[in-house]
Amino acid sequence: MKLKDFDFDLPRELVAQHPLPRGQARMLHMDAMGNLQDKNFRQIIDFIHPGDVLVMNNSKVVPSSLIGRVGERVVYINIVKQVGERRWQIFARPSKHLNVGKKIIFSDDLYAYVNYKDIESNYIEIDFELSKFELFQKLDVVGQMPLPPYIKRAEQFIADKHNYQTVYAEHEGSFAAPTAGLHFSEEIISCLESKGVKLAFVTLHVWLGTFLPVKSENIDEHIMHEEYFSCTEEAAQIINEAKANHGRIISVGSTSMRVLESIMHEYGAIIKCDGMTSIFIKPGYKFQIVDMMVTNFHLPKSTLFMLVSAFSGLENIQAAYKYAIENKYRVFSYGDACFFERKM
């Protein structure tokens, strides 16, 4: 398929700059036939049945956005991923002064040296003189949350450290939030559990490759980014028991879906495991485990838009997005939610 097949016009004013309180966003429900309903997110409780399983990504976002100085020049840094014991890939703006050997000072006790730079691709690696654990401790103090570039504010708010994190976040390692989970409050989760819905927690650390644009006109030529994932014995048991008893598997977000479908693709069953995944879910993909998904509205021509198009059918997703735009749903990370059933 061609990249243009996944393009659409999106009014800039629909891009949410601030979140609503958890559970109060709108939710667009689409069934397996493509029928649409306007709901409030809290009404998701009505659609999920006893014996169903919500699979949630418990990765925790690292406050990895930094303001540094190279000499007298200010530079804005986002950590992308770890590439060595004390070496990290970064995005930087401006990057022209970040030559190999330059020292970037972030605070009195946090600094790094540029180790590698590819001028053509603007790929940059820096070395911190800290272990990963020590670095994350420092980032908790001096770092800001890595809000995506379409959230355009003069500054962050202290509340972003809470708002851009799921209430069940546990394992530090993400450099962008698994945003579908941001809608769930502790009260909604408690109501679902009281109803007999099971929760299964997996981990996928979201790295900033998520935001890299697809440049290949033929999407089959796109090289997907890698991300670390893990699934515990407890999560595998909950999912397998539900499936055996005809419960539905509901993925909270594309990250949870990528974990589940990666494991099924590799092992043919959900088992305890961990590793790296670069699975690219696009139209034509045969889903093996996920029945429904909670997600947000995604960018045009993105791999995430391709994933939901594979799940619910490209024509259905195009119709859903057209409806959402006409009805002024708020989009992207801090926006409204979707609850999609898999196209049969």
The whole-number average pLDDT for the span 246-256 is 97
β 87-93/73-82 pair status: antiparallel
Query: What is the model's pLDDT at position 155?
Result: 64
pLDDT band per the 50, 70, 90 thresholds, residue 153: confident
Q: Do residues 130 and 182 both lie within one domain?
A: no
Same domain membership, residue 33 and residue 69 = no
Same domain, 201 and 337: yes
* Mean per-residue pLDDT over the chain, rounded: 95
- Secondary structure (3-state) at 147: coil
Last residue of a domain, one of 87, 113, 143: 143
Looking at the fold, whether 229 and 327 belong to one and the same domain comes out as: yes
Which CA distances in Å does 45 have to 23, 65, 191?
Answer: 11, 35, 7
Q: What is the pLDDT of residue 211?
A: 66
Number of domains in the chain: 2
Average pLDDT of 82-91?
Answer: 95
Full domain range(s) for residue 327: 3-61+162-341
Q: What's the rounded Cα separation, in Å, for the pair 322 and 249? A: 27
Q: By CB neighbour count within 10 A (0-12 exposed, 13-18 middle, 19+ buried), where does 121 fall?
A: exposed
Cα(285)–Cα(311) distance, integer angstroms: 8
Q: How confident is the model at residue 152 (pLDDT cuts 50, 70, 90)?
A: confident
Evaluate whether residue 157 is within a structural domain. Answer: no
Q: What is the pLDDT of residue 212?
A: 76
For residue 75, the one-letter residue type is V
The CATH number that applies at residue 92 is 2.40.10.240
Same domain for 45 and 184: yes
229 and 98, same structural domain?
no
Hey, CA dihedral for 39, 19, 311, 171, is it positive or negative? negative
Q: What is the pLDDT of residue 288?
A: 96
CB 182 within 8 A of CB 18: no
pLDDT of residue 209: 67
Residues 39 and 114 in one domain: no
Q: What is the pTM of this model?
A: 0.95
Mean pLDDT to the nearest integer, 135-160: 87
Percentage of the residues of the chain whose pLDDT score is greater than 90 = 92
| C-beta atoms surrounding 91 within 10 Å | 20
Within this chain, do residues 190 and 171 fall inside the same structural domain, yes or no?
yes
| E strand spans, the chain | 26-30, 36-40, 53-57, 59-61, 65-70, 73-82, 87-93, 103-107, 110-118, 123-128, 171-174, 198-204, 227-231, 249-252, 273-277, 292-296, 337-341
